[in-house]
A and B are shown apart, each in its own frame.
Chain A
Amino acid sequence: MKRVYVNEEWCLGCHLCEYNCAFANSGGTDMASALRGKPIFPRIHVEGDDRVTYAVSCRHCTDPICVKCCIAGALAKGEDGVIRIDRGRCVGCFTCVLVCPWGALAPAEDGVMQKCELCLTNASGEPACVRGCPNRAIVYEER
């Protein structure tokens, strides 16, 4: 399946992916009015130090430990391999945060968990972090 990968030697650490992610999932049509003056809760985050940076989002693991450990049956892997969260079932217990080896799950503003679902169902239609990466460090491809 196609997944999001980041080439850390090309990552500028500009955090634009975080803003593009937050906007794509905001349901808004104008980035400024959707995000201005508000804390953002992106599903991708930039890690690293002053030498190297890279963006991390859900790896859509083949054998996902978050799905196994979810106490609410909120996380599931679809037949397309994409791991999705049913936010209506999530109770915000943080078990997925406790077990994800990538640190790829975090709560939204409402305390309910959210995660990268590859922008397949939002208005972006393709990963917004990839499309908006100015140095093409983030790619969406089969490996």
Chain B
Amino acid sequence: MKNYVIIGNGTAAVSCIEGIRSVDGKSPITVISGEKYPAYCRPLISYALEGKAVPEKMNQRPADFYEKNGCRVLFGTKAVGIDPENKTVTLEDGSCLPYTKLCVAAGSSPFVPPMAGLDTVEKKFSFLTMDDMLALDAAVEEDSRVLIVGAGLIGLKCAEGLAERVRSITVCDLAPRVLSSILDEEGAALMQEKLEAHGISFLLGDTADRFEQNRAVMKSGKTVDFDILVLAVGVRANTALIRDIGGEVNRGIVVDTHMRTSIPDIYAAGDCAEGFDSSLGTNRVLAILPNARFQGECAGINMAGGERTLKNAVPLNAIGFFGLHSLTAGSAPEGCEVFEERGPGKIRKLYTKDGFLTGFTLIGCEERAGIYTSLIRERIPLDSLDFELLKHLATTAAFPHEERRRKFGGAV
């Protein structure tokens, strides 16, 4: 009999539970949940602002999930320390939980750089959790002027969610383009155009230098008056629990392909972990839902004594605004070749290196994108298929006849 403890209750934690239960049906699992809700679909919070999702239907799993899986969940409780010698987790109230195998799935926290006068702003919000969303939802009014600091995925989805609900939205970012972590200039311009067509204004290459109550003074000297401030500069992996006990931490908690940290019997998964990105060939934090799923499951299986490795994790981002979708996967490593195709409102870019597809960007031409993704994840040599065809169209017709017959001929 083992004693499993999971710190965190998001996607990675849910998948960790399922991973454990696929091997070990009996041993007790304790979940330490900082938030007071059963695991919910975090990326839906912007859709909830928009009215396309409702909190009651954002649950990741049916209501009896924890009970059915023999989990005790401590809602609204945080872990404050780990004692790897005695194998216990210390909670906020000072009590200790013993563990045989521990998974840190603690997620990430909003990163707020020091900005002068931030304390003078009355209505300011982060946008990462259900409670953040509910607070923002309650604060916005029809005549609100909203300033969002950060033109990344979180800031822009928040902008889209609020677009029809407020008087004005301005988004600023120090980067010279929107979505700078996933798109190049050209792709970013296309997405920005779409957002602007829906009334969202941008101040790029510029950011708030200081705040004076309802006014932001930008680095450029411009001023923006606002009623509501959303801080979406970025997130940082929650690594402190492992750092404090001398475990290997970089931008995230360093894990191997089994999701083991450098400390025996402690695993990590999800947004707090830094695992192997096969499209780059190095470790990096992949703070995306699919990766939390894969890593959590992998951790759970291994914690329970099964055998699972995760060697094909790559960045995967599907993000759309007002019907224009950007699908990106993998990376564009240094020295890669780029194949591009453009049309009105469309961009298709494929990145290849050493005879493999390493990444792509598709905007406005998302059909069957997963075929490209599978070439990256499965590292299928491009000389084994009709790459000329793939440059214009994602299709399984590019596979050689026999290979396609094999793929389609039986259950998968």
Instruction: Spell out A's residues near B (CB within 8 Å).
Output: 1, 3, 5-6, 8, 47-49, 52, 54, 56, 59, 61-62, 65, 68-69, 71-73, 88-89, 91-103, 105-106, 111, 143
Contacts and interface: CB of A to CB of B under 8 A. Distances in A.
Contacts of B301: none
A72 B412 contact: no
B41 interface: yes
29 contacts: A5-B408, A6-B408, A8-B405, A8-B408, A48-B397, A59-B411, A61-B412, A62-B411, A65-B370, A68-B290, A68-B297, A69-B293, A71-B41, A72-B44, A91-B52, A93-B318, A94-B325, A94-B366, A95-B290, A95-B316, A96-B370, A98-B318, A98-B327, A98-B373, A99-B370, A101-B373, A102-B371, A103-B395, A106-B368
Contacts of B61: 73
A111 B405 contact: no
B263 interface: no
Given A71-B41, A72-B41, A102-B396, A97 B368 contact: yes
Nearest to B370: A100
A49 B397 contact: yes
A89 to B, nearest CB: 6
Contact of B370 (A62, A73, A93, A98): A98
A98 B329 contact: yes
Chain B interface category by residue count:
35 or more
A93 B411 contact: no
A106 B329 CA distance: 18
Contacts of B404: 8, 54
B374 A101 contact: yes
Nearest to A74: B41
Contacts of B290: 65, 68-69, 95, 99
B44 A103 contact: no
B53 interface: yes
A56 B396 contact: yes
Given A97-B368, A98-B329, A143 B409 contact: yes
A143 B370 contact: no
A51 B289 CA distance: 40
Interface string B364-389: 00111111011000000000000001
Contacts, number: 118
B385 to A, nearest CB: 13
A68 B293 contact: yes
A93 B43 contact: yes
Given A99-B316, A143-B411, 13 more contacts: A68-B294, A71-B289, A91-B47, A93-B43, A94-B318, A95-B289, A97-B318, A97-B369, A98-B316, A98-B317, A98-B369, A102-B371, A103-B394
B408 A54 contact: yes
B327 A97 contact: yes
Nearest to B53: A91
Contacts of B373: 98-99, 101
A102 B370 contact: yes
Interface in B26-76: 41, 43-44, 47, 52-53, 57-61
Contacts of A6: 408
A37 B371 CA distance: 31
A100 B369 CA distance: 8
Interface in B292-323: 293-294, 297, 316-320, 323
A6 B407 CA distance: 11
Contacts of B59: 73
Contacts of B323: 111
B167 interface: no
B410 A143 contact: yes
A89 B327 contact: no
B342 interface: no
